[in-house]
A and B are shown apart, each in its own frame.
Chain A
Amino acid sequence: MDLAIRAIVLYAFVFFLTRVVGRRELSSLQPFDLILLIVLGDSIQQGLTQDDYSVTGALIVVGMIAALQVGTSYLSFRVPRLRPVLDGLPIVVIEDGKPIQKNLHRERISVEELTEEMRQQQIASLDEVQWAVLETSGAISFIKKSDS
């Protein structure tokens, strides 16, 4: 029982954390972010199972996390009103080649970061972009102008 409760509490905390930290922090994995992610995983694991090395313990924890994950995803699918809370909403960051500063500022994205993302998607200039949308996953989708 203790393990199941720990799994619920830590799942809720990590879910909460990923929603409040900001999507860009979670999608862009710089080397430092990757190390932080490993440290985070290790810290969570210690609080989750502590000194329980049993297979039964692992089954309880993994089963509970899987059930919570499926449950959250089902809720998001079945209850559209919960979707903004559970998944977030997209944000338009470029319109007609012009960065929308207030939206970039809100998500702590610099124009340099935006152009870096563009280059990774083989887009050389802001003028080529009709729309850029920061998706709920933290990735940025670029839609090119029809004439470019």
Chain B
Amino acid sequence: MAEPPDAIDLGRDRDLRGRRKDVWFRRSLLALVALVPVLALFNLFGQRPTTSNASVPAATLSVYAPTTLRGGLLWEGRIHITAHREIKNAILVLSTGWAEGMSINTIEPSPTGEASDNGRLEFTLGHIPQNKSFILYMQFQVNPTNVGHRSRSTTLYDGKTELAAVHQKVTIFP
């Protein structure tokens, strides 16, 4: 039999002695890599929106927005208020989780007033007649350095009276 080339160990490199399990180890790692996009199909890494509701006799507050995001994503938050009775002065208060580390591209229709309620964003929407809806569209982009978990709450007031609140947890992947 001819001599193998230098540095080639026939036991190790031809008969794969001690290397038989390597291929299964490699295949397992590859399966792990393939698992990431599979999990992504199940919305584990965002950004499919979900709807959260709070319904009270006076109104239904519905928040349609993704709860899982990634750095750099453009996304929409849609807040839908259905008045079951007349709301004289609708005010939406958004917790800091809505705006922290986000670029707010636009809010439509523009609230009639904007203020800070103890650090939270306060939007005055005005009058909503009985059985009518108000939909607020907000467009955001996640700042790339904004990573982690945040709580995001949306509270609807009629003047100073709290009507309904939706609480969500947001996860932002790098």
Contact = CB atoms under 8 A, between A and B. Distances in A.
Interface in B21-53: 23, 26, 29-30, 33
B26 A92 contact: no
Contacts of B145: 2
A133 to B, nearest CB: 6
Interface string A43-65: 00010001110000000000000
A131 B4 contact: yes
Contact of A21 (B13, B16, B30, B144): B30
- Determine the main DSSP class of A at the interface with B: mixed
Given A16-B29, A20-B30, A145-B2, A92 B10 contact: yes
30 contacts: A9-B174, A17-B33, A20-B26, A20-B30, A20-B33, A21-B30, A50-B71, A50-B72, A50-B144, A89-B12, A90-B8, A90-B13, A91-B13, A91-B14, A91-B16, A92-B8, A92-B13, A95-B14, A96-B1, A100-B14, A102-B16, A103-B16, A106-B16, A131-B2, A133-B5, A133-B8, A133-B13, A141-B5, A143-B5, A145-B2
Interface of A: 2, 6, 9, 16-17, 19-22, 46, 50-52, 89-92, 95-96, 100, 102-103, 106, 130-131, 133, 141, 143, 145-146
B5 A131 contact: yes
